[in-house]
Structure 1
Amino acid sequence: MVSLRCKMIVKQELQKIGLHCVNVDLGTIEIRENINDAQKEELRQNLHHYGLELLDNKRNIIIEKIKAIIIEMVHYSDEVPKVNYSDYISKKLGYDYTYLANTFSEVKGITIQQYIILNKIERAKELLMYGELNLTEISYKLHYSSVAHLSNQFKKVTGLTPTYFKSLKKKRLRNLEDL
């Protein structure tokens, strides 16, 4: 999802260079006029000032859309997907999954599945640090088939077991109390 703040910034910057925004959405800006090279470069520089990037390469736009969908699914959605990730991403973007997967792998050097796993493990680390959920609840929340499956992936990615990772937080807190 594109934040409201980002949408406003993009609209303001388009107005500054004399362009009229029709729509701002995930990875796309729709404008009424044709944009020339000078306007595009000015927009690129102005957006960069806000930490935003103008992507005009179709492959990069697709990659950013895939990443945003995965981040939304893993970090911000509690719903269990009704279809598998590949079907969901393919349907959401309107492209064949094989094309999306090949493009993602060529550009990022990892598969979409690996990117999903990395995000799920990052989310598991966050949830472990908060300490509000136990490992069973975390594995359910992240749609793992079992605690063992989550634990195995966690160890492969981090080199630590989830339990040991969680214990590191407790050690840090004790060390802070000793100061």
Structure 2
Amino acid sequence: MVLYVKNMVCNRCIKSVIGILAELGIGHEQVLLGEVPLQEPPDAEQLEQLRQRLHEEGFELIDDKKTRLIEQIKKLVLRRLAQDPDDIQDNLSDYLSKQLHHEYSYLSHLFSSVEGMTIEQYFIAQKIERAKELLVYGELSLSQIALQLGYSSVQHLSNQFKKVTGLTPTHFKTIGAARRRPLDEVNGTSK
């Protein structure tokens, strides 16, 4: 049995969910972003306790099929963002369609209607947050960041960065980490 958990978007989230499962004595396999494969189905009381504990930590069990699909889209977007751009063969829409076995138009309409933004806008928001993180670390040049994030040029990254944040990457770097948000808050949800 696999449970789906909303707002589970980072490694700290996974650790938190694993801690809750251990606390409640619920056996699980390897917990992934948004997915909790259980060794055996919990009884009704355990499930309610799990639902309550997850809620206390800012997570939510997903029962609805469409909501699960949206969470899978988000997870795949984050996975795509973590890939080396040189290893990417499909564009984002083809990648999502192949992974989720749905037409992209259906996925796009569903995502937009629930999240209030397109999948592409979500992807760009995630890329810009990653760019902010890399700028704050200061270990890579702007051209290295553009390359790592799959931008065709520094200018493309800079234009998109300014459109999303209102700042140039250079100006952002000078004001530092104060403008960064955790990835789980980028889409309007907060844990």
Please indicate the TM-score interval, normalised by the length of the shorter structure: 0.7 to 0.9
Contact 2:24 2:46 in 1 (8 A): no
The correspondence of residues 1-179 of structure 1 with structure 2, limited to 5 A, is 5=15, 6-7=17-18, 9-10=20-21, 13=24, 15=26, 26-27=34-35, 29=37, 40-74=47-81, 76-80=82-86, 81-169=88-176
Contact 1:27-1:64 within 8 A present in 2 as well: no
CA contact (8 A) 2:24 2:50 kept: yes
Distance in 1 between residues matched to 2:144 and 2:38, nearest whole Å: 42
Query: 1:105: how far off?
Result: 0.2
Measure the CA separation in 1 of the matches of 2:22 and 2:85: 32
Q: Percent identity among equivalent residues?
A: 46
Greater helix content: 1
Question: 1:153–1:167: structure 2 CA closer, same or farther, 3 Å change rule?
Answer: same
TM-score, normalization: structure 2?
0.70
| Aligned equivalents of 1:34, 1:169: Cα separation in 2 | 45
Q: Answer whether contact 1:22 1:30 (CA < 8 A) is retained.
A: yes
Amino acid at match of 1:47: L
String of CA shifts for 1:121-157, please: whole Å, max 9, x gaps: 1111111111111111111100011111111101100
Please identify the structure whose Cα radius of gyration is greater. 1
Q: Are the counterparts in 1 of residues 111 and 117 from structure 2 also a CA contact under 8 Å? A: yes
Q: Distance in 2 between matches of 1:21 and 1:131?
A: 39
Deviates more, 1:153-162 or 1:92-101: 92-101
Q: CA deviation at 1:107?
A: 0.2
Asked if 1 retains the 8 angstrom alpha-carbon contact of 2:97 and 2:103, the reply is yes
The answer for the alignment partner of 1:175 in structure 2 is none
C-alpha contact (below 8 Å) 1:22/1:32 kept by paired residues: no
In 2, Cα distance between equivalents of 1:107 and 1:100? 11
Count, aligned residues:
164
**TM-score with structure 1 setting the length:** 0.75
Cα pair 1:13 1:47 within 8 Å, conserved: no
* Deviations 1:17-51 (CA, angstroms, capped at 9, x unpaired): xxx76886544656755976x66434311332444
Segments of structure 2 that go 5 or more residues without pairing to the other structure are 1-8, 178-191
1:66, distance to aligned residue in structure 2 (A): 1.1
Q: What is the rounded CA distance, in whole Å, between the counterparts of 1:142 and 1:66 in structure 2?
A: 19
Higher relative contact order (CA 8 A, sep 6+): 2
* Contiguous gaps of at least 5 residues in structure 1: 171-179
Query: 3-state DSSP class of the match of 2:61?
Result: coil
TM-superposed CA distance for 1:169, in Å, is: 3.3
Alpha carbon RMSD of aligned pairs, Å? 2.9
Answer yes or no: is the 8 Å Cα contact 1:44–1:53 preserved in 2. yes
